[in-house]
Each structure stands twice: as C-alpha cells, then as structure tokens.
Amino acid sequence: MIKDFSVVIAGGGSTFTPGIVMMMLENSDRFPMRELKLYDNDGDRQAVLGEALEILLKEQAPDLKFSYTTDPEEAFTDVDFVMAHIRVGKYEMREQDEKIPLKYGVVGQETCGPGGIAYGMRSITGMLEIIDHMETYSPDAWMLNYSNPAAIVAEACRVMRPDSKVLNICDMPVGTLRRMSQIIDKKPDELEVSYFGLNHFGWWTSVKDKESGHEYLDEIKEYVAENGYLTQVEVDTQHMDESWQATHKKAKDLLAIEPRFLPNTYLKYYFYPDYEVGTSNAAFTRANEVMAGREKDVFTAARNIIEKGTAVDGGFHIDSHASFIVDLARAIALNAKERMLLIVENNGAIANFDDDAMVEVPCIVGSGGPEPLAQGKIPEFERALMLQQVTVEKLVVQAYIEGSYQKLWQALSLSKIVPSAGVAKELLDDLIEVNKGYWPELK
C-alpha cells in the first residue's frame, strides 16, 4: 500500500529547491506527499523561495500541506524523508574554495583537491547537525543526501554516525548516463550499468541493454573518443552551462588514458590539472558563474512570483533530471529493489580494495537500505589512484575529529592535484584563515 509521505528539504534556500519541488509534483503519482517542509539556517534566503513556492503550491497542489521554517523541531518532526542539499558557507565560501588554490596555480574546485577538502571541513558540522535533528524528531526517517563534498560527507557518516539512516548519492553518473543513452539512441531506464570508484572518481565497466543484455560499451567509447560526452540534444536539465560543455568534451582525453572504461567527468581535475588551471579565470570561477546564472535566475523567478502573487507562467523550471531522488525514496519506502549507484562502505564490493573505504558502486536498494553489488577486482592503475584519493578523504575526517593540523596538511599533500607539501602548507594556512568559524580549531 502506498502511503502519502511527509518530506523536509534541508537546505530549503538551495538553488535546486524549486526544481526539485516541481519534479516531486510531476512525480506525485509515483511519490504522493501529504506534507512538504523546507528547513534552512538562513531564514531570509529560504523565505524568498518559501514564499514563492507557497504561491505555486496553492495553485498546483492545494491539498499538500506546505511550510518553511528555521526551527529544527518544527522541520524534522513527523517526516519520512529528509532530502538534504545544504551548502555550509554558501556561495561566498565556494568562491574562496575555488580562488585560493588558483593563487598557487592549483585547481580550484568545489569537490576536488584543496577546495573540496575545505568544503568538507565545513560540511561535516552542518551534516552532523541535520542528522541529529532527524534522529531526535523522526527517528524512523531516512536522509537522502546530496550535499557535497559527498565523498567526505559519506566518510564522516561512516565514522561518526555509523548507524544513521543516511544515503549519499550523486547526480553526475545519472546525468552522464543520460548522455550515453542519447549517444546510442536509448532511454536511460532501458540501460543497466556496472561502475566502480569513489564519488567524483570512477569508471563505467559496462552499459548494457536491460532486456537483451547487449553490451554498448564499445559503441559509446567510439563516440566518446571523438566527442567526449558532448551531445547535440539537450539531455540534461543540469550541466548545460558553457563550462560544463567543456567538461563533457574533456572526457575524450580521460578515455585516452584508460581506454578500457568510460570515465566520470570529474577525473579531469586529477589527470589534467595543468589544463584546468590554464583554462580557469581566477577572477571569475564557477562560483561566480553560478551566482550570475542559476542563483540569480532562480531567485529572480521567485521574486517575480511573489510580486505577481501567482506562479502561472512563473519562471521555476522542473528539474526532471532530479527524478532519481524520487526513485531512491520509492526504493526505500516500497522495497522496490531499484538498482542505483550509491556511495557505500566497500565491504568487498570491489574485491581488491579496502573494506572500510566509501566507494561508489551499483547497489540494490530496498527498505533495508542499499545492498552493494560485487564489481570484482579492479586494475592496479585505478586501484592506486583510488587508494591515494580515499586516503585523502579519510585523513580529512580524522583531522576534523582530532582537530589535527598535521593530518589536514598530510591530506592536502597527498592530494594528487597539490604539487608539494610546501604549497599544501601555504594553502592550508590560507584556508584556515578564511574558514574561521566554520572549521573546528586545528592544533
């Protein structure tokens, strides 16, 4: 029996909130809701989206109970799912994460290298906070988390909240599968993949037709070798800006280094950091691009809706690509045994990789949570790269817990995209300075 769900979106002021709410409305036959709440610790930011969504929902889903709040008890009481997309430090700090490394000629990226490490040190606190709210007020609820940096957040959950019902998921493989399906003229849900790696650090080893079992890997590789994942048609509601197009294209060079598998686009930061820095504009990074683009568009649309008092012809767009979140919620709620890529503790899924590493692999998701599927042994090239990267992530979490300057310095020095321990130390000192109040104190 399908019941009507109660959902809270944590990070209600996120640029993704309106698109995800619209997506949930579109999927209301598959995922009926009785109540939807927004929760954020920045009341003013959230209120803009909250007020606009209130108008929209009155028009489009009058029976759905809707509210927005900064009060944890109100937000987290009586919910079945917490959909979490918080950004601790908001865009102001993303900008720092990107610009400080660039000062040293190092890649400045939201989730990779020093930027990802800095963001991770901020995110852990916010994530623990909302996990604890969920467990206090709705102990049976599940959190579907896509707050970044997901790899570090997932490792922090493994170590600090091992029994919490938190599922960490990323949309990059979902978006890239859409592109692959476009290349071979199929629908994403007609395909079944095998994949191994860490979050933002992995490879597809198989892309098969679900029904016939036909393997499309070679056909897709042939296309990617020429064009990367750049396709002609709009296949993705996210990842469309010019900088993203360059990223899709760069997959061509990632395939060249490892022609056996199809690469995750994020590998470009690790394999071509010189290219990345060379093509970056240190005065206008991705954070600036998003602030001038997605953030401005979403908040302008919200203000227009509020001003007009109606969302008819209003500018919120459905984020259809986010429907994987509904797939995941349904899999849990209805024991649907859906096959999805999730970030989980390895425990043998990758046979020749550490049991306690948080890896990204296909899982079967039912009401008991995810069951990782065995991906066999991986080649030594990928294994070595992954071990280096997962150790960076583990050191960050240890540094956070122990308040250890030394461990964070080691994490930065070990990161493949930081050239030396000397640069790592200078970077660390700068990052500590701007992250005052966000990071635990390091000794």
Is residue 189 among the annotated active site residues? no
Cβ count within 10 A of residue 360: 30
The yes or no reply on residue 236 touching ligand NAD (CB under 6 A) is: no
For helices 405-414 and 113-137, the axis angle rounded to 10 degrees is 120
Parallel, antiparallel, or unpaired: how do β-strands 191-198 and 201-209 relate?
antiparallel
Q: Does 317 bind ligand NAD (CB under 6 A)?
A: no
For the beta carbon of residue 399, count every other beta carbon within 10 angstroms.
Answer: 25
- From 7, 8, 9, 10, residue interacting with ligand NAD (rule: CB under 6 A): 10
Residues 6 or more apart from 97 whose CB is under 8 A from it?
Answer: 108, 109, 110, 114, 115, 116, 118, 119, 287
- Is 341 an interacting residue with respect to ligand NAD (CB under 6 A)? no
**Of 68, 146, 216, 266, which is the active-site residue?**
266
Is 200 part of any known ligand binding site? Answer: yes
- Tell whether residue 52 is a contact of Mn ion (CB under 5 A): no
| Binding letters toward ligand NAD, positions 12-41, x by CB under 6 A | -xxxx-----------------------xx
166 contacts Mn ion (rule: CB under 5 A): no
| 122 labelled binding-site residue | no
Query: Is 88 within 8 Å of 123 (Cβ atoms)?
Result: yes
CA atoms within 13 A on the CB side of 240: 12
Q: Considering the complex, state which of residue 94 and residue 221 has its C-beta at the smaller distance from ligand NAD.
A: 94
Interaction partner, residue 106 (Mn ion, ligand NAD, ligand G6P, none; CB < 5-8 Å by kind): none
Name the minimum Å distance from CB 360 to Mn ion.
9
Does position 112 bind Mn ion by CB under 5 A?
A: no
Q: How far apart are CA 365 and CA 430, in angstroms?
A: 42
- Contact pattern for ligand NAD over residues 394 through 423, marking x by CB under 6 A: ------------------------------
Candidates 40, 80, 171, 319; catalytic one: 171
Amino acid letter, residue 248: H
Cα–Cα distance between 102 and 400 in angstroms, integer? 24
Q: Is 148 in the site for ligand G6P (CB under 6 A)?
A: yes
172 touches ligand G6P by CB under 6 A? yes
Please enumerate, by residue number, every residue annotated as part of a binding site for substrate. Answer: 94, 148, 286
* Residues at the interface with Mn ion (CB under 5 A): 170, 172
